[in-house]
Structure 1
Amino acid sequence: MSLAAKERSRLWELAGGWRGVGAAVGIFALTRIAQLVILGWLDAAGDDPIGVRNRLLVWDAGWFLRVATDGYPHSYTYDPAGRMEGNELAFFPVYPMLIRLVAALGIEAHTAALVVAWLASIGAAVAVHLLGTSLRDKRTGWTLVAICFSAPVSVVFSMAYSEGTFLALVAGMLVAAHRRVWWASGLLGLLAALTRPTGAAAAVALAVAALLAVRESREKAWQPLGAAVVALAGVPLFLAWVGLRVGDPSAWFRIQAAGWGTAFDFGSSTLRFLGTTLSTGDGWVPVSVAFILLAAPAAAAVALVRRPWAPLAVYGVIAMVLVYGQAGFYHSKPRLLVPVLLTLLPAAVAAARARPRVAVLSIAAWAAFGLWYGAYLVAVWPYTL
């Protein structure tokens, strides 16, 4: 048996085999069912009930569906006044291409989008459990799944959004790198980098894992280094493709800025939002977002003090820098933080070490707020996530 096969077999045993993975999927299913019930309740109680399914297909889902059904445009898009608008070229291709693939089986596109999102999120739950197990033990894997999929704004794992696909790929990449299955880590890293811009952070993390492996053993160094190179190519390749398609090397960045006000400003807009909201903010949602944006770095700092596996730390830090450092819609930032994982690690480790009753009660309290909060933002809060 090859080393890679031995590593996979050992991890499977450590994770509890089919029963352990089934428990992780069961935890995920409980969070989804509970959130859909809450979402249905809030939708029915509102002034404009449109149904749970329609709630899961709002905002960015429309952009992904247009890419899946119509493809990408060949140029910039302008409004009647001649101002540049955002268009589908801002959205990375893996998730919409999966929608197109499933729709080709004869499934209606909107349904296909939800099918892909849910299947990917199930895969993410399995990958997160395996990651927690590989880093510590299977109890940490289970608690990490529970905390991740009941976090505030984890509702995106039920929506036609790319977060489930991205998390499945990133967590899978980290698991493969931790177990030194380099061909899988390179492929998953490339796909993650073609799913969301923060895939660049995952690719850098894989490069760190590769360098650590080479330093520890120079045998077959081309495997880890090759995996890193493949993953690192993903984001630049898509940005270059958009530039060639439009005829402007900076096209992707210009489209992001025109459509969503997204540009890297080294965190100045985030600091302004925090200062204004916490001093004169009106409305509990902006204030709650501000507290989430303050809590996440604090949790990440706790995780870093405990010296987690270096590639996970690198991925988390770079991903957070990208989220906090860019201008854009403040209420989207908690969603962008959901796949980071580093911020959730201290709570997962603490829950895994606690007595089962304490862990269950603590996670249940977290989930009660988090699942309601996400459902509220989708059913009641009028702005995009």
Structure 2
Amino acid sequence: MTDPETPAATPPHTGALRRAAPALLGYAAVRVLGLVTLAVWSAANGKSAHRLLSQRWDSLWYTRVAELGYGYEVRLPNGDVHANLAFFPLLPWLERLGSAVTPLSYPDAGLLVSAAASIAAAWGIFAVADHVHGHRAGVCAALVWAVLPVGIVQSMAYSESLFTALAAWSLYAVLTGRWLTAGLLAAFAGLTRPVGVAVVAALWVAAITSFVGERAQGGSTPRTDGAQVWRRALAMIIAPLGAAGYVLWVGHRTGKGPLGYLDVQAGWRNGFDGGYAFGRFVAEKLTSFPSALAGVGLIVGVALILWLYVACVRQGQPPALLVHTGIVVALALCASSYFGSKPRLLLPAFPLLFPLAVALARLRTLRSALILGGVAVASAAYGAFWLNGSGPP
């Protein structure tokens, strides 16, 4: 779809912002609803919403990295070693920078980064869906991502929003042929979370597919085409530097070579086992009645994710999106521990939401708004209940 504003009337960046405005305003409204609900719920329980968002669970680990650097670890009674080397550095770096240039503490700088990144992520999701499925689907995609049951994580001092923003804009750059931008963003995504490999793989697949397609068409070689080829090749080199650089640095620091990062993850009892541990966890849930309902819910959830992925394939999503989504889903579902984390680990798999977004876009605006509004209220209540309870492990 083309922007109704002409380049002469509206600068490109202004037109892009105006086009994304419904998605961004709707996203912001959902996040405000979630935060207000959390504040009220937490106050009723004698807890601090601010602390729940910025100073618990993984956010504490990121803050310690920002304040003290790497080297902190906790030895548990069972012999496990939880080392902060497991946490990739981009979010702590930004927290340290935010605290240095503002009066904010490290936790509050983390909240600021998360808030900005969540808006950037919503915009990136809109941009990708708009490019693939049109404007209405783009707006709906950003809003569906906002109203996910674990959407409150997008407002926490966690790395999910930052990673999703980098991944979404890298994928958008791939889809629009901005290869160097895509490579740089993929490198930063690789400095944010281990699943950054999904963005790198998506870029590589798209680039290789482009090379093969051009060769099949006879390989025309105007100077502009040659420059594009070099940009694409350079993007493929740049993209993995973030993840590879950090993993190799951890291996050097631990003295265990290139696979040292895997040993760090093993200290957290985390790894990739093809889904065996998760399958056993679900099976154990089915052995008694109260927990059997949770087990059935997990099975239904996994089935829904797989069905949505098949729907993405049938929609004809570009290979880059399918590769990114497939790897994010595989790493989330096949991790060997932290089963309660799986829903939030799936947040970067935003193309899974495009079939739902397209379906909503086909409805009348009022009906779509009512559906999304109702889900937003339920999501806000669930997020407040969740963070005041077990919360993200």
Same fold (TM over 0.5): yes
Match of 1:68 in 2: 66
Matched, 1:333 2:342: yes
Matched, 1:240 2:248: yes
Match of 2:22 in 1: 23
In the TM superposition, what whole-angstrom CA distance separates every residue of 1:35-71 from its partner, at most 9, and x where no partner exists?
012212321232xx22111110210000000111111
Equivalent of residue 86 in structure 2, options 90, 93, 103:
90
Match of 1:302 in 2: 311
The one-letter code matched in structure 2 to 1:115 is: L
Task: Give the whole-Å Cα distance in 2 for the aligned partners of 1:94 and 1:80.
Answer: 27
Match of 2:137 in 1: 140
Structure 1 residues 208 and 80, CA gap change in structure 2 (3 angstroms)? closer
Task: Give the whole-Å Cα distance in 2 for the aligned partners of 1:288 and 1:384.
Answer: 18
The one-letter code matched in structure 2 to 1:251 is: G
Equivalent of residue 321 in structure 2, options 297, 312, 319:
312
CA shift for structure 1 position 209: 1.3
Task: Give the whole-Å Cα distance in 1 for the aligned partners of 2:294 and 2:352.
Answer: 21
Task: Give the whole-Å Cα distance in 2 for the aligned partners of 1:240 and 1:24.
Answer: 39
Larger Rg: 2
Matched, 1:276 2:276: no
The one-letter code matched in structure 2 to 1:66 is: R
Q: Secondary structure at the match of 1:92?
A: coil
Equivalent of residue 254 in structure 1, options 263, 267, 280:
263
Task: Give the whole-Å Cα distance in 2 for the aligned partners of 1:337 and 1:17.
Answer: 27
Structure 1 residues 281 and 189, CA gap change in structure 2 (3 angstroms)? farther
TM-score norm. by structure 2 comes to 0.88
In the TM superposition, what whole-angstrom CA distance separates every residue of 1:174-196 from its partner, at most 9, and x where no partner exists?
11111101111000010011111
The one-letter code matched in structure 2 to 1:26 is: L
RMSD: 2.3
Aligned residues: 370
Alignment of 1:196-235 (within 5 A): 196-217=193-214, 218=219, 219-220=225-226, 221-235=229-243
Match of 2:368 in 1: 359
Contact 1:297 1:343 in 2 (8 A): no
**Structure 2: which 5+ residue stretches go unaligned?**
1-6, 220-224
**Mean Cα deviation higher: 175-184 or 350-359:** 350-359
Matched, 1:105 2:114: no
Match of 1:177 in 2: 174
CA shift for structure 1 position 327: 0.6
CA shift for structure 1 position 141: 1.1
**Structure 1: which 5+ residue stretches go unaligned?**
1-8
Contact 1:15 1:138 in 2 (8 A): no
Q: Secondary structure at the match of 1:263?
A: coil
Task: Give the whole-Å Cα distance in 2 for the aligned partners of 1:222 and 1:162.
Answer: 32
Contact 2:43 2:49 in 1 (8 A): no
Structure 1 residues 157 and 189, CA gap change in structure 2 (3 angstroms)? same
**Mean Cα deviation higher: 213-222 or 283-292:** 283-292
Contact 1:15 1:130 in 2 (8 A): no
Matched, 1:124 2:133: no
Equivalent of residue 369 in structure 1, options 338, 358, 378:
378
Match of 1:55 in 2: 52
The one-letter code matched in structure 2 to 1:377 is: W
In the TM superposition, what whole-angstrom CA distance separates every residue of 1:211-269 from its partner, at most 9, and x where no partner exists?
2222333533221122122112332221111010111123322222222x211111111
In the TM superposition, what whole-angstrom CA distance separates every residue of 1:125-171 from its partner, at most 9, and x where no partner exists?
11111111111211111100000011111111100000111011000
Structure 1 residues 229 and 73, CA gap change in structure 2 (3 angstroms)? same
Q: Secondary structure at the match of 1:113?
A: helix
Contact 1:262 1:327 in 2 (8 A): yes
CA shift for structure 1 position 320: 0.8
Equivalent of residue 349 in structure 1, options 353, 358, 364:
358
**Mean Cα deviation higher: 284-293 or 176-185:** 284-293
Match of 1:39 in 2: 38
Structure 1 residues 281 and 304, CA gap change in structure 2 (3 angstroms)? farther
Task: Give the whole-Å Cα distance in 2 for the aligned partners of 1:256 and 1:276.
Answer: 24
Task: Give the whole-Å Cα distance in 1 for the aligned partners of 2:57 and 2:144.
Answer: 25
Moved over 6 A (4+): 12-15
Q: Secondary structure at the match of 1:86?
A: strand
